[in-house]
Chains A and B, each alone.
Chain A
């Protein structure tokens, strides 16, 4: 199997780059972390890579709104690079802050009008907790073969809000909302706290573009790679591998 190259882009305030790199490498890709300034100086640098990842953190302090300033940089200066990834069958993954960046840069939408956003948690505060997730279709490359996952969220601005009801059904129909917070019952009702930790409309925890190759998710898959990261690992001595690794493995397998 060829070893795909993953480029992890960090900005001032990005803070999950090292563990994300570790996860990509464990999954079998060659991963490199670079500062956004290098990419802004020389955008074609990114064309060497098959996977682009924007990791978690507080890019530019999440000042103004989470991911806004980093998203504007993609929008203003790196449109060609994003276009290259979209058109040449490559993958883009945004985790937490990276999801906020992707959605606010417009990269996940089929139109130029913003279709949805991520805003303040209904609780009004930052929250670190583990959540049950369900995968609602197999359209998204990163979620192939997955049904459920248990992963941590850690954010203040993760409430998914679509522009309108109609927009929501369009996105659902297009398979662009493949990852949902779940209470394990399999029902698709709007869930309350804490199963739906931030009040996301339709329990949305992740969104992909129409191709299924660009994907953003609020939960942190890189934080559940090792069994000892699971909050119940001392209760489940038979745990072997973390649910989160599958996200990275799927990215690698896609190029296999």
Chain B
């Protein structure tokens, strides 16, 4: 029997779901309407009405705040709605999509003594005052996402819940030996393999030599391993790069630029080398203290998030957490980071291309996805940023990062021949098939329909349970190696772990979510929350017992056999055999041309009329505006290590430069997390964009107290289609800057990841292409000796002195003043690493000596925004005099001289800070710096205004409350 339980808010209780949907509906251009929501459960099992009522009252509904309707599916009671003539719509997860609540409900019902055959959740909506077409819009755009959910109008009528269908084994092979190039391309397309023709021909040749055709699973294994997502073939490939300085030829571009700079630095550090494992493992590892190392990884999850923002972001953060869990012998996750890029959330509905979700919905979905996963895992989300640019409309970017801590002697892994292959955690389903190959394709209008299988919903609690047992097993030395099941599923995890040994896998042993998966689907499924460990035979029983003691699945699915081959079996029948050598080294090199022509310098097109208004406009611009709405939805304090929070100041709402956490409760040592990114600078020159990103990430760390000699960085390149030489050229140029500045700052890159081909092709609009701006995220992980010396950015005391550190130049190109003023041209900010490195050392000394009350870096909006933020965060006024600030590198390029005060206020020259210093410390503070690097700019006041003057000229005089409102209003949802 199939029972239904509908749960409504009780009389007098708010209908929160309906209220939230109503607040989002105006984006869709819908008229006012009325909505009523119920959540519900479908329960299959031989229960009586009384039993279901008992189950409902003891488990599903809260009698104080909720009321229920209970019956068998199809009962007329479910169609009653107080006599209103509303349209009834049900939204259910599609079969196979993770339904975590249903899984938990099933377990809880069993404990109650009523084991069900199956449970499924749904949402139910009563909609009034909309036409049929409008209801369709509401359903498709807001109530459901058809890549994972189904919409049913009217009452439910099914008789049972879907169970998988039995699978009849048939061994499939793919006839490629005699295929023409056209046929190869068809095989590639039909199988969603995302291989190029040269690769297909290489595989064809390999199998000709073997005198047989590949089985489907062999072809899939090769496609997964060779995918851009798993092998980074473009950036690690041969690139002929030409720019204004001539041509450079790289055999492996990443290796010769970014990796090489780390290799060089490690050599330079010599005995004092503090890098532990770089660009090898799932995350980069550096030393932390005498007993522990720390690991950091940032991943992108762009394409899934474009199609299903909640699930995409959810599994994005889940995936990167598994990266650190699978680093070394397993690191304990200690904090998350998230950085997003969206189009303007205020975009009108008719400006959104077909096949693309509205940016506000993308943003809300992504934030909820990160929130629900990170919070449930008990990992504080401490740092992030959001950038807005309309070029992200078809390709929103979602960067998820995770830092982990691990004992020094657990930092390396080595599976041994004869070890058993054990999978821990989630069951395998048909979800996420072809994620690795899908993420290597360009999105288009139909992506949503074609690629639904690549979109998933995570279950954070399953992953938390895995983490709980895995770290215990690590400390009991029960396994020799661990890695996560990410893109490519078992195929990638086992393929990578067994690369040096060989492996045999028994696919029927993998625990499944439901029947019906083919052996190939089991092999390449990207179902979430799975880890793979290699376990000496003697430890297998103990490991499985440990997992079972906390309700975690663990199953032996194969063995690392020293054959050099990957052997795949299903119920004893061999379904595939590929040599590890061909799998990992057989891919033909990708050879690409890359070109870059820097744009000619243009004079700044405009000057300012009213600095006060400009300042407020910048504060209200989406990139600068407060992200408090996002930050407060994240638990940024769980694990109790929070030292410098994302929001600081007297009212806990000022923008911190970086987060500081204390990962060991019994130690004072801290980890500092910050990021830097500026896609606008990339429109001028990606070299200076990358340099600025690195500088920003570092200065954010230094501003809160990080030791500038102990900062490691990560790169995440998100670019347009790098098949085009100019796209690849702008990327290569950025990588060259990474090499140069990492070395100059002595700041090693320890890990990175790229996402190429971020272009949206609007097939319903003359194939219009929208490429994202060149986007390089630099994430920095610094360290502080004692968190007790850390500094926050809010002004502390009236009467104290304000200093600007660093050099201001006529660098108005790509700055936020230009953006809000509609100005173009100007010199893009550059970085003088030598001067900056010196300054950071001195500032660090000042902070360590506790000479600094507050410190804030100058970034978007320059000095004006910096002091405004310090003022309203501290709830104190300031009187600033800026005519003492020298402008370096005078402005020959501008036809008419630019107002120097405009530059002083809004230039985004790098490597600058404002410091607040108590009167009695001024002398000690000033004596640390060279005169060219420091300018006293004013005092903190007890007044309510921020006043900025240049000589007698009053540039800004505004109440800081007003500035704060301008800054808080835009994203105060």
Residues of chain A at the chain B interface (Cβ within 8 Å): 12-16, 18-19, 22, 35, 37-38, 56-58, 60-65, 68-69, 72-73, 76-77, 104, 114, 116-117, 119-120, 122, 124-130, 152, 154, 161-163, 220, 222-223, 225-226, 228-229, 231-232, 234-235
Contact of A61 among B460, B637, B640 (CB under 8 A): B460
Interface residues of B in 343-381 (CB under 8 A from A): 371, 375-378
B-side contacts of A122, CB under 8 Å: 14
**Measured between alpha carbons, how far is A163 from B12 in the docked complex, in Å?**
12
With a CB–CB cut-off of 8 A, which chain A residues contact B162? none
Closest to B795 in A: A235
Q: How far is the CB of B584 from chain A (nearest CB, A)?
A: 37
Whether the pair B640, A69 counts as a contact (CB closer than 8 A) is no
Smallest CB gap from B705: residue in A: A234
With A37-B551, A69-B108, A163-B64 as contacts: A18 and B632 at CB distance below 8 Å:
no
Instruction: Report the 8 A-B pairs with minimum CB-CB distance, sorted nearest first.
Output: A15-B378, A63-B104, A19-B640, A124-B16, A61-B461, A234-B792, A63-B101, A117-B64
Most A Cβ at <10 Å: residue of B17, B103, B652 = B652
Closest to B469 in A: A35
Q: Does B724 contact A (CB under 8 A)?
A: no
Give Cα A122–Cα B16 distance, bound, in whole angstroms.
8
> What interface size band does chain B fall in?
35 or more
User: Which residues of the partner chain A approach B644 to less than 8 Å between Cβ atoms?
Assistant: 234
Q: What is the bound-complex CA distance between A24 and B13, given in angstroms?
A: 38
Residues of chain A lying within 8 A (CB to CB) of residue B460: 13, 58, 61
Instruction: Tell me the bound Cα distance from A77 to B112 in angstroms.
Output: 10
A15 near B464: Cβ-Cβ < 8 Å: yes
Closest to A13 in B: B461
- Say yes or no: A76-B112 contact (C-beta < 8 A), given A63-B100, A127-B633: yes
| Also in contact, A60 and B108, with CB within 8 A (given A161-B64, A229-B640) | yes
Most buried by A among B20, B108, B662: B108
Contacts of A77 in B (CB 8 A): 111
Instruction: Name the contact of B65 in the complex, choosing from A117, A130, A229, A235 (C-beta under 8 A).
Output: A117
Contact A58 B794 (CB under 8 A): no
**Are A72 and B111 in contact, with the CB atoms below 8 A?**
yes
Contacts of A16 in B (CB 8 A): 378, 638, 640
- Segment 735-768 of B: residues with Cβ below 8 Å from A: none
Query: Within 8 Å CB of A22, what residues of B?
Result: 640, 665-666
**Does B58 sit within 8 A of A, measured CB to CB?**
yes
A69 to B639, CA, bound (A): 23
Residue B613 at the chain A interface, CB threshold 8 Å: no
| Residues 624-661 of chain B, each 1 if its beta carbon lies under 8 Å from chain A, else 0 | 00000001111111111011110110101000000000
Contact A15 B65 (CB under 8 A): no
In the bound complex, CA of A104 to CA of B792 (Å): 41
Contacts of A117 in B (CB 8 A): 62, 64-65
Cross-interface CB contact of B464 among A13, A119, A125, A234, cutoff 8 Å = A13
> From residue A56, how far is it (CB to closest CB) to chain B in Å?
8
| Chain B 488-532: CB-based contact to A (< 8 A → 1; otherwise 0) | 000000000000000000000000000000000000000000000
**B30 CB to nearest A CB, Å:** 20
In the complex, whether B82 has a CB less than 8 A from a CB of chain A is no
Pairs across A and B, CB under 8 Å, 6 listed? A57-B378, A61-B104, A69-B104, A114-B64, A226-B662, A234-B794
- Interface 0/1 of B666-690, CB less than 8 Å to A: 1000000000000000000000000
Q: Which residues of B contact A127 (CB under 8 A)?
A: 632-633
As a 0/1 sequence over residues 107 to 134 of chain B, the CB contacts with chain A under 8 angstroms (1 = contact) are 1100110000000000000000000000
Tell me if B878 is interfacial: C-beta within 8 Å of chain A.
no
Q: In the complex the two chains form, what is the Cα distance from A130 to B103 in whole Å? A: 34
- Find out whether the CB atom of B652 lies under 8 angstroms from the CB atom of A231: yes
Q: Does any Cβ of A come within 8 Å of B197's Cβ?
A: no
Contact of B665 among A19, A63, A64 (CB under 8 A): A19
- Given A13-B464, A15-B378, A35 and B549 touching (CB < 8 A)? yes
Contact A223–B378 (Cβ < 8 Å):
no
- A19-B640, A161-B65, A229-B637 known; A69-B107 Cβ under 8 A: yes
Q: Which residue of the partner chain B has the closest CB to A242?
A: B640
Tell yes or no: B63 within 8 A of A by CB: yes
Question: Does B790 touch A at the CB level, under 8 Å?
Answer: yes
Are A128's CB and B376's CB within 8 A?
A: no
Tell me if B241 counts as interface (CB < 8 A to partner A): no
In the bound complex, do residue B461 and residue A223 qualify as a contact, i.e. CB atoms below 8 Å apart?
A: no
Q: Which of B600-640 contact A (CB under 8 A)?
A: 631-640
Residues of A within 8 A of B268 (CB): none
By a CB distance below 8 angstroms, the chain B residues around A57 are 378
Question: Per-residue 0/1 for B785-798: is the Cβ within 8 Å of any A Cβ (1 yes, 0 no)?
Answer: 00110111010100
Q: Distance (Å) between the CB of B73 and the closest chain A CB? A: 20
4 extra A-B contacts, CB within 8 A, seeds A12-B465, A73-B111: A63-B101, A63-B104, A69-B108, A235-B792
Q: Given A15-B638, A120-B16, A154-B637 in contact, is the A231-B105 Cβ separation under 8 Å?
A: no
Q: Please give me the residue from chain B that is nearest to A16 by CB atom.
A: B638
In the complex, which of the residues B62, B375, B468, B550 contacts A119, with contact meaning CB atoms closer than 8 Å?
Answer: B62
A12 touches B16 (CB 8 A): no
From B63, B550, B652, B791, contact of A234 by CB (8 A): B791
Roughly how many angstroms separate A57 CA and B652 CA in the complex, as a whole number?
23
A65–B62 contact, CB under 8 A?
A: yes
Tell me if B340 is interfacial: C-beta within 8 Å of chain A. no
A72 and B108 contacting across the interface, CB-CB below 8 Å = yes
In the bound complex, CA of A179 to CA of B236 (Å): 60
Contacting residue for B101 out of A14, A18, A61, CB 8 A: A61
Please name all residues of chain B whose beta carbon is closer than 8 Å to the beta carbon of A38 when the two chains form the complex. Answer: 549
* B60 adjacent to chain A (CB < 8 Å): yes
Separation in Å of the B633 CB from the closest CB of chain A?
5
Q: Are B662 and A228 in contact (CB under 8 A)?
A: yes
A128 near B636 with CB under 8 A, answer yes
Instruction: Evaluate contact between B650 and A15: CB separation under 8 angstroms.
Output: no
Q: Which residues of B contact A72 (CB under 8 A)?
A: 58-59, 108, 111-112
Min CB distance, A139 to chain B, in Å? 23
In the complex, whether B153 has a CB less than 8 A from a CB of chain A is no
Instruction: Confirm or deny: B581 has a beta carbon within 8 angstroms of a beta carbon on chain A.
Output: no
Q: Chain A contacts of B112 at CB under 8 A?
A: 72, 76
The yes or no answer to B224 lying at the interface (CB within 8 A) is: no
B642 touching A12, Cβ below 8 Å: no
Which of chain A's residues have a CB closer than 8 A to the CB of B20? 124
Which A residue sits closest to B552, measured CB to CB? A12
B19: interface (CB < 8 Å): yes
Q: Which residue of B lies closest to A126 (CB)?
A: B633
A128 to B374, CA, bound (A): 13
A37, A61, A226: the one contacting B376 at CB < 8 Å is: A61
Residues of A within 8 A of B640 (CB): 16, 19, 22, 222-223, 225-226, 229
Measured CB to CB, the nearest residue on chain B to A68 is B59
The reply on B459 being an interface residue by CB < 8 A is: yes
